[in-house]
Amino acid sequence: MREEGLEESAVLRKLLNMAISELKKEKALKLLAEGRISYMKAVEKSGML
């Protein structure tokens, strides 16, 4: 952590943001695969737009 010049709290925030982003993508893909949402809605829900 120190090598990057990041404090522990900054690293934790970064990890949480990454995890939340991944969960959003997984949920959007699941809904898309089930046919419950469109491609565009999946992109919006995943936070990629």
pLDDT in tens, 6-43: 788 999 999 999 999 999 999 999 999 999 999 999 99
The pLDDT-based confidence of 49 (bands split at 50, 70, 90) is: confident
**Is residue 4 predicted with pLDDT exceeding 70?**
no
CA gap 11, 1 in Å, rounded: 7
Indicate the pLDDT class of residue 3, thresholds 50, 70 and 90. Answer: low
The three-state DSSP-derived secondary structure of 17-42 is HHHHHHHHHHHHHHHHHCCCCCHHHH
